[in-house]
């Protein structure tokens, strides 16, 4: 499956406010979390959507397997 590439600027627009999509990036992959009740309004606890959360998630109480629940929509350029 060939996935499109998105820049950080394009990702930033998918914050649930500028565009209806709510996306986050983790380790170079971009996930759509729009349908997650935990990301309503583009925020999940102290984390904001529309950005690369790789460094922030190092301290998260869950493992990277949490991303298996979400649709992979692209790769970070």
Total structural domains within the chain? 1
State the number of CA atoms in the 13 A half-sphere of 17 facing the CB: 8
The pLDDT value recorded for residue 29 is 96
The CA–CA distances, whole Å, from 42 to 4, 7, 17, 51 equal 22, 18, 7, 11
Task: For 1-49, write each residue's pLDDT tens digit.
Answer: 699 999 999 999 999 998 899 999 999 999 999 999 999 889 888 889 9
Q: For residues 23 and 73, is the Cβ–Cβ distance under 8 A?
A: yes
CATH number at residue 31: 3.10.120.10
Question: Which residue range forms the structural domain that includes residue 26?
Answer: 5-76
Alpha helices in the chain (DSSP H): 8-12
């Amino acid at each position: 499956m060939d996935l499109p590439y998105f820049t950080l600027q394009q990702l930033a627009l998918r914050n649930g406010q500028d565009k209806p999509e709510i996306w986050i990036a983790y380790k170079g992959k971009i996930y759509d979390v729009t349908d997650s009740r935990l990301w309503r309004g583009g925020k999940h606890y102290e984390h904001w959507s529309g950005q690369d959360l790789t460094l922030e998630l190092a301290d998260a109480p869950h493992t990277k397997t949490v991303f298996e629940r979400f649709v992979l929509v692209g790769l970070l350029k």
